Amino acid sequence: MSNTSPISSIRPTAGGKLKRWIWVLAFIAFVGYLPIVLTERAAFGVALSNMQLLNLGLTQVNLMLIAMLGALSLNYLTGSAGLISIGHAAFYAVGAMTAAITGSQWGWPFPLVLLSAGLGGAFAGFLAGLPSLRVRGLYFVLSTMAMHYIVFFVFLEYQFKFFDVVGVPFNTPKLGSFELNTPLRWYFFLLPVVALVFWGLRNSLRSREGRVMMAMRDHELATTSVGVDVRILRLKAFAFSSAIAGVAGALYAYYLSNATAETFGINFAIQFIAMIIIGGMGSLWGSLVGAALWLLLPSIITGFASQAGDSTGLVRLLLVENKAQLVQVIFGMMVILLLIFVPGGIAGMGRQLRNLIAVKKEHE
């Protein structure tokens, strides 16, 4: 008979909850103080050099937050619903084009512009998901690519008809009298948006329909056999994912203040696939990590390159003369190695590490 009392069995759980809350509060303090550090280039009154800040600025962080929305939405579609799409840039473009029409041309308030961008993205996603009712695998992937080029052509025609080669201009967005006219203001606007989308997707995946959707990803025939209409589920997943991408596209265009059709090329779509592979397919946290690495690592390498300006030999060859190629090689090798050795990405590595630590604790 065990000598463990009920009180002692509760203590670890209470301690675990306390530790979790400490980490949550520390994280909130970090993300709250980070923009001040990057803006003032100092922490607690101590000046920091560019290299000490890893050559990062608030603009890179804001673009990272917008990219996180795209990575989250694609991981929801591909990692959780099992629908592979390489046309995600199309939904960004639809959101940007909808924002240009409703915001730049019609003068709608910014919240309504974002709402219309989300609805436009959802409609485009619904249309892109229709081929999934009849085709699978490579043929469906090709249909999403076709969707990408159709939207690219429509955006190009729209741009040249109303704005010519200079691109589509976007005014400074306003929330009432509050203007998003500085990187700091953008940061504190984008951060809650990302947190809200993350929370919404997490709860969605934990709901009954979310669990059914993941079951469809793993065993579609078994899911169908219990009476689930997977066709409707696929269209819902596409529309929901594309609505988020549409809002992200509108935010991206507003943040850049100008957008062209070339902004949303096929390379723009492929980068989101790379993000979720690096971070971890099917992991929302992995989406955030993948987007952070993809957006911030080039700036970090650029910072090291600026310090290696007087170097010679291999260091100069890699960091100075072939900096862009080095970034591509690093990302390419990262994707290949993760696909071969850790298909779960960085999030999968984290799970394996936690399991290893738990096993060691059990044997102690």
Q: What is the pLDDT of residue 19?
A: 83
Instruction: Please tell me the distance from the alpha carbon of residue 243 to that of residue 249, in angstroms, as a whole number.
Output: 10
Tokens of residue 303, six digits: 């910072």
Mean pLDDT to the nearest integer, 150-179: 92
Instruction: Please tell me the distance from the alpha carbon of residue 355 to that of residue 218, in angstroms, as a whole number.
Output: 23
Q: What is the pLDDT of residue 3?
A: 47
Q: What is the CA radius of gyration of the chain?
A: 23
State the alpha helices, DSSP H only, in the chain.
Answer: 6-40, 58-74, 88-99, 110-129, 137-162, 183-206, 208-218, 220-225, 230-256, 266-279, 284-307, 313-316, 323-341, 345-363
Whether residue 255 has pLDDT greater than 70: yes
Instruction: Please tell me the distance from the alpha carbon of residue 282 to that of residue 77, in angstroms, as a whole number.
Output: 9
Three-state helix/strand/coil letters over 157-203: HHHHHHCHHHCEECCCCEECCEECCCHHHHHHHHHHHHHHHHHHHHH
Most confident of 13-22, 107-116, 213-222: 107-116
Residue with tokens 């469906």: 140
Q: Transcribe 101-148 into DSSP letters.
A: IIIIIT---HHHHHHHHHHHHHHHHHHHHGGGGT--HHHHHHHHHHHH
> Percentage of the chain surpassing pLDDT 90?
63
Coil, strand or helix at 324: helix
Instruction: Please tell me the distance from the alpha carbon of residue 350 to that of residue 5, in angstroms, as a whole number.
Output: 33
Q: What is the pLDDT of residue 11?
A: 45
Coil, strand or helix at 259: strand
Whether residue 7 has pLDDT greater than 50: no
Instruction: Please tell me the distance from the alpha carbon of residue 293 to that of residue 246, in angstroms, as a whole number.
Output: 22
Q: Which of 176, 199, 182, 174 is nearest to 62 (CA)?
A: 182
Q: What is the pLDDT of residue 308?
A: 67
In Å, what is the CA distance from 325 to each residue of 318, 338, 356?
A: 8, 20, 36
Q: What is the pLDDT of residue 320?
A: 67
Mean pLDDT to the nearest integer, 87-95: 94
Q: What is the pLDDT of residue 8?
A: 42
Q: How many CB atoms lie within 10 A of CB 24?
A: 10
> Percentage of the chain surpassing pLDDT 70?
93
Instruction: Please tell me the distance from the alpha carbon of residue 180 to that of residue 225, in angstroms, as a whole number.
Output: 51
364 or 42: which carries more pLDDT confidence? 42
Is residue 45 within 8 Å of 213, Cβ to Cβ? Answer: no
pLDDT tens sequence across 288-303: 999 999 999 988 888 8
Whether residue 147 has pLDDT greater than 70: yes
Mean pLDDT to the nearest integer, 1-9: 43
Q: What is the pLDDT of residue 363?
A: 77
Whether residue 4 has pLDDT greater than 90: no
Structure pTM?
A: 0.91
Is residue 38 within 8 Å of 58, Cβ to Cβ? Answer: yes
Kindly indicate the confidence band of residue 40, based on its pLDDT and cuts at 50, 70 and 90: very high
